Structure 1
Amino acid sequence: MRLTVTPENLLEWIALKINLVPLPLLHAQIFPIVGKAVLEAADKGVFEAVQRGKQTVDEIATDCRLHPKALGELLGLLTVLGYFRYRGGRYTLTRLSSRWLLKNNDESVFGMMLFNNRVVWPWLDQLGNYLQTGEGIQYHDHLTTQQWAYYQQAMLAATGTEAKEFGRKAPVPKTATLMLDIGGSHGQHAVALCRRIPDLQAIILDLPQAIEQAAPLLARAGMGDRIRHQVGNALTDDFGENRYDIVLMSSLAHHFSDEQNREVARKVAKALKPGGVYIINEFIRPEVDGESGGVGTSLVGSSMDLFYGLTSTAGNYSVREIQSWQTAAGLSLSKVKTYLSIPGRAMVVAKK
């Protein structure tokens, strides 16, 4: 998936075709404003206000305690972006904003909006220093209790659609009875598999700060008799031997170095039962030579690679790199499963 500049008429098409339009200026000037506008609108409750029937600028401004002139400018941009319709002086929500930005919808990404606006946005100021020194933020070491809460809400929001697709596509044994979800916090991937496999139970291994904030989120699924949290650390804990039918590590490999991921894979291979599967669920970094393991040369994978390098010092890995950890641990490779709902993301699967 790529973000593109789309011409609105023939002359604009020609201008783009002959490189007359300074695209770097659009990237540098327009894209940051667009991103921040969507984040602030979600954070300030603008979408919720319109859903409640506040449809004029003055009504929305009063409801959200915003300045009418500034709000009007924001709404104008968001209408161009397709988040609102404007007719007769009134704004209404489009299908885009109704499905993805209202906080009480199951698939809403509102939690990610809040986390990005209140926690992540200031981190971007450190990108220049990261490029000069290679020293990332390592944010897990610095989050406050409130930021941990925002973080877990964001992770839940990010997996709203993915977990459903994971539950359908993950190539796991139909007779599986025990799963280890490494760093699974909110547990939505485990929930999806437990709903698919009647006899499956799951253990979610995660840091105490994550469990404290994620436990109420998992409780909403109503599967407390089959899924439980266990305080631990994937880098230091032993996973046991011949214990699990499924081991999942989702959105965690990008926090670890290559050496650390190899050690985790070694422990996973030991902990799997014969026929068990190890799924590494990740954004995929396209290889420099264009080889991407079938996931695509993705803007998503490349941008997240830079983001995780900045924020967690490691970054994304290619399919080939991930598979090298699995084969070095003695596992046999299976077909890579890609996501329709999250382009640039994949399940890299291996079996014992």
Structure 2
Amino acid sequence: MSTSKKSVTRESLLGMMQAYKTTSLLRTGVSMGVFDCLDEGPADAETVAGRLGSDVRGMRILLNALAAVGLAEENDGRFALLAGAEQFLVSKSPAYFGDMVRVMASDWEWDALKKLDQAVRHGGTVMEVHAETPGYEYWEDFASHAVAVARPTAQVVADALEPWAAGRDSLDVLDVACGHGMYGLTLAQRNPQARMWALDWPNVLPLAEQHAERMGVRDRVHRLPGDMFEVPLGGPYDVVLVTNVLHHFSEERAGELLRRLAPAVKPDGKIVLVGFTLDAPPAEDPAPHLFSILMLTWTFEGEVHTVQSYTRMLSAAGFTNSHRHEVPGLAFRVLVADKAAG
């Protein structure tokens, strides 16, 4: 018998069984513009339906459900935003977080997770189109909408490199599997001497360039379209960024990528890794273990690696003096390492 104070209850099981309904409500509220509408002030279902071009009965049921799960509040038939919603769910807010539903609650992820049992039996993805498929359209949504999570992590990376980067006459940055490009773009924004080479699939790079335009650094961004395991890397670079991608592969395959990148790093350069890490028992730090489930359904051999695994990979690739940095409020870790002498 278990000695844990935790237990499985009917209530906890029912909550898990219905969690997808809450996710669907959040997705729908964002996609239909309900939170933007309620930002104009409390309104009844007929008013909201009229503004959004919806059936009144359908909107009434949706608004009541949003109130039921704590995404709005109802008072005498009128609905209003809860505290915090104007910050995170209203699209004009600088802290808007709603678009992350297109990343963390995407149809691509849900379709893969429907086949979790098959992935467990098979030991990897059974999807015909998945995270390792060249030109996968999901990465376009990721590049467009994951900025809300990437921005604070990119600031941690820039802070970690700041004293070293500021003293360099030039700062050539290779951003591998750049996606939105926020890591390299933030370094370019902070350091006027920096130039960035963005490596990703051809369908993703235009979206990174749009972010570069908004951040005022487009003239210092260069394209490297293609497969990171095959495309000529150019260089050498002062900094190579490998962000949120190594968990797509086994330790062996991820280490192969780092060994491929190592010759492209200057002798006094650095490499930066960003991603989840396994550091604690599952119940104490669930996020990386849940992410490994997604990797199981979505990749051939991917899963979240331990810090010790990353240290081994870095050492084998010729990097040393690895330092770990936390990202406040997020489960990501940042590892910064030096190119080993010789």
- Tell me by how many angstroms 1:70 deviates: 4.4
What residue number does 1:56 align with?
44
- Is the 2:139–2:179 Cα contact (8 Å) retained in structure 1? no
What residue number does 1:122 align with?
111
**Residue 127 and residue 254 in structure 1: after superposition, are their counterparts in 2 closer, same or farther (change >3 A)?**
same
- Tell me by how many angstroms 1:240 deviates: 4.6
**Residue 23 and residue 345 in structure 1: after superposition, are their counterparts in 2 closer, same or farther (change >3 A)?**
farther
- Tell me by how many angstroms 1:119 deviates: 3.6
**Residue 29 and residue 227 in structure 1: after superposition, are their counterparts in 2 closer, same or farther (change >3 A)?**
same
What residue number does 2:182 align with?
188
What residue number does 2:291 align with?
304
Matched letter for residue 120 of structure 1: E
What residue number does 1:239 align with?
233
Equivalent-residue separation in structure 2 for 1:154 and 1:180 (angstroms)? 22
- Is the 1:249–1:280 Cα contact (8 Å) retained in structure 2? yes
What residue number does 1:273 align with?
266
Q: In the alignment, is residue 167 of structure 1 matched against residue 158 of structure 2? A: yes
- Is the 1:162–1:341 Cα contact (8 Å) retained in structure 2? no
**1:280-315: CA deviation from partner (whole Å, max 9, x where unpaired):** 10012346xx4x9xxx94221111111122122312
Matched letter for residue 327 of structure 1: S
- Tell me by how many angstroms 1:348 deviates: 1.7
Q: Structure 1: which 5+ runs fail to align?
A: 1-16
Equivalent-residue separation in structure 2 for 1:117 and 1:327 (angstroms)? 36
- Is the 1:235–1:260 Cα contact (8 Å) retained in structure 2? no
**1:201-246: CA deviation from partner (whole Å, max 9, x where unpaired):** 21111111211443323322221122232213211134356x2111
**Residue 144 and residue 61 in structure 1: after superposition, are their counterparts in 2 closer, same or farther (change >3 A)?**
farther
Q: In the alignment, is residue 83 of structure 1 matched against residue 71 of structure 2? A: yes
TM-score when normalising by structure 1: 0.81
Percent identity over the alignment is 20
What residue number does 1:11 align with?
none
**Residue 321 and residue 23 in structure 1: after superposition, are their counterparts in 2 closer, same or farther (change >3 A)?**
farther
- Tell me by how many angstroms 1:335 deviates: 2.0
**Residue 160 and residue 40 in structure 1: after superposition, are their counterparts in 2 closer, same or farther (change >3 A)?**
farther
Which secondary structure does the structure 2 equivalent of 1:193 belong to?
A: helix
Equivalent-residue separation in structure 2 for 1:170 and 1:80 (angstroms)? 45
Equivalent-residue separation in structure 2 for 1:274 and 1:161 (angstroms)? 29
- Is the 1:251–1:282 Cα contact (8 Å) retained in structure 2? yes
Equivalent-residue separation in structure 1 for 2:202 and 2:134 (angstroms)? 14
RMSD: 2.8
Equivalent-residue separation in structure 2 for 1:300 and 1:19 (angstroms)? 20
- Is the 1:42–1:114 Cα contact (8 Å) retained in structure 2? no
Aligned residues: 327
**Residue 126 and residue 118 in structure 1: after superposition, are their counterparts in 2 closer, same or farther (change >3 A)?**
same
What residue number does 1:221 align with?
215
Matched letter for residue 280 of structure 1: L
- Tell me by how many angstroms 1:69 deviates: 4.2
What residue number does 1:263 align with?
256
